[in-house]
Each structure stands twice: as structure tokens, then as C-alpha cells.
Structure 1
Amino acid sequence: MQLGRVLGQVVATVRSPGFDNVSLLLVQDTTDDDDGDGATCVAVDLVGAGDGDVVLMTTGSAARVAAGAATPTDRAVVAIADSVIRHGTVTYRTA
């Protein structure tokens, strides 16, 4: 799994079957640091995350299983983080 911060939504009115009832989020990878220079990707939102939320993403076959077998996806948001602790220090906590 990877940590990421939600930067916004991706709106697509024409979608592949299986994507009818899911939101697409623009997420920046923050797994290695919080500097805001991680790769940006699109992920299927399975938990209702919003702008600025720190989320856990899964990739590959784990993302496909989480999103449902009929939904062809490589990345899915599966949790919203309450806090992140690195080296014994809280680096993120929800308000």
C-alpha cells in the first residue's frame, strides 16, 4: 500500500462499464515524504475521501479486487488515514 494526499477529483462523463458509481481522485504519492514532490496519479475512490485527506492506496491486483472484479483499475483508495507516525513522530493527524 501507499500513502497519498488527495489533490482533487477527475471528472469523466464517458466511462467504461463498472465505473458508473465510483469517484475518481487525483492523488499525490506521499509514501516517502510529505514535501509534495511525489508522483501524481488517478485512483478509484472506494471510501469517500475528499480534498486534502491523507489516504491509503492499493495497486495492481489488490486494487482490482478491492474495486470489484468487473472494474479494471490499477489503483484504489481503500482507507482515509486518521494519523501517520514516522520514526516515533506524528507527521499527520486529522483535525
Structure 2
Amino acid sequence: MMIGRVIGNIWATRKEDSLNGLKLMIVQRLDTVNGESLENFVAVDCVGSGIGDKVLITTGSSARKALRNPESPVDASIVGIIDEDKD
């Protein structure tokens, strides 16, 4: 899993049928050791996150399992909203 921050959303009027009804968010990956912001990517929101939320992201086949649709063309899913970091 990765930690990131939701920085925006994506609206796509035309997309693969299995993506209909899914909320697509732009996430900026965070390096929690150095405090740096890394690359941005698109993830499907499974938990109702919003812009500014710090989130947990899973990728690959785990991202599709989070959607309960192994055939969906998804590579990243938001699976948790972080309330508080403990060091």
C-alpha cells in the first residue's frame, strides 16, 4: 500500500463500461520518510474520500479486488482515509 493526498478529481464522459459509476480521483503519492510529494496518478475511490484527504492506496490486482470486479481496468484504488499519523 501507499500513502497519498487527494488533489483533484477526474470527469470522463466516455470510458470503459465497467468504470461507469466509479469516482476517479487524482492522488499525489507521498514519501512519509522525507516528507516529499512524488508523482500524481488516478485512483478509483472506494471509500468516499475528498480533495485534501490523506489516503491509503492499493495497486495492481489488489486494486481490482477492492472493487470486487477482477475484470475492471483499474490499477489503483483508494481503500482508506487516514485520520491521524502515528510516528
TM-score, reference length from structure 1: 0.82
Paired residue secondary structure (1:64): helix
Listed as ranges, the gaps of 5+ residues in structure 1 are 87-95
- The one-letter code of the counterpart of 2:75 is D
Write out per-residue CA displacement over residues 35-87 of structure 1, whole angstroms, 9 at most, x where no aligned residue.
Answer: 3x31100001111100000000000110011122232111000111111123x
Paired residue secondary structure (2:16): coil
1:5 aligns with 2:9: no
| CA RMSD after TM alignment | 1.3
Give the aligned partner of residue 45 of structure 1: 45
1:71 aligns with 2:72: yes
Which has the greater radius of gyration?
1
Distance 1:9 1:31 in 2: 21
1:17 aligns with 2:17: yes
Listed as ranges, the gaps of 5+ residues in structure 2 are none
Deviation at 1:31, TM superposition (A): 3.6
Equivalent residue pairs, number = 85
Identity of aligned residues (%): 39
